[in-house]
Structure 1
């Protein structure tokens, strides 16, 4: 048995760096398959976003551990897209929420942490 803890990732980027954003979407599709949404473009300012849905496994299950590893690999990949000064036009948040309505941010871009 185990408790349910959903993890979802939201990724947003600016249209002036479509190449890096496309790489992030390809990496998400590679890691998460059908759990990765298509890219959606905002109505204003050309922002693009996509979503990685939770895998549905319970904490303590092997599938949950695999999901944790994939999310870490994906977050590390996005951080690797940063420019030399640490800025990154590909932003993400990995948010966790559970069946008891608890919510927390698991991870965000490395440089962004300095601004929270």
Structure 2
């Protein structure tokens, strides 16, 4: 039996135009690379913090078992999104960061990757 491992992703930035562009890219990636036609529903709206004008959006877990199409598609999408974000994270012009974390695996292992 295959394992369900939940993968979640969050992006935070203090520049609304930048985070808008990243969210649009995330939606585009889900439309291009996910077999499930409703995959873009995993991408949340952008929410603004209550101070300092930081904005964030989330990509919620797909709910698929590892090795199945939805899980594999989501793995590819997260990697492509990180490739898109990384040059912006490296720039001192923006206060941009992301975190990817997985949890809920049968072995109890939690992983975390961030900028």
The normalised TM-score by structure 1 is 0.79
Please name the residue that 1:42 is paired with: 49
Q: Deviations over 1:5-53 (max 9, x none)?
A: 0000011111xx2222111111122223111111100111111011101
Please name the residue that 1:9 is paired with: 9
Q: Deviations over 1:84-109 (max 9, x none)?
A: 56x7522100100014443210x322
Is the 8 Å Cα contact of residues 13 and 95 (structure 2) preserved in structure 1?
yes
Structure 1: give runs of 5+ residues left out of the alignment: 110-116
Regions of 4+ moved over 4 Å: none
Please name the residue that 1:26 is paired with: 24
Query: Distance in 1 between the 2:26 and 2:56 partners?
Result: 12
More strand, by proportion: 1
- Relative contact order: is structure 1 or structure 2 higher (C-alpha 8 Å, sep ≥ 6)? 2
Return the match for 2:114 from 103, 108, 114.
108
SS of aligned partner of 1:4? coil
Whether 2:66 is the aligned partner of 1:59: answer yes
The normalised TM-score by structure 2 is 0.80
* RMSD, aligned CA: 1.9
Label 1:42 to 1:18 Cα distance change in 2 as closer, same or farther (>3 A): same
Please name the residue that 1:112 is paired with: none
Structure 2: give runs of 5+ residues left out of the alignment: 31-39
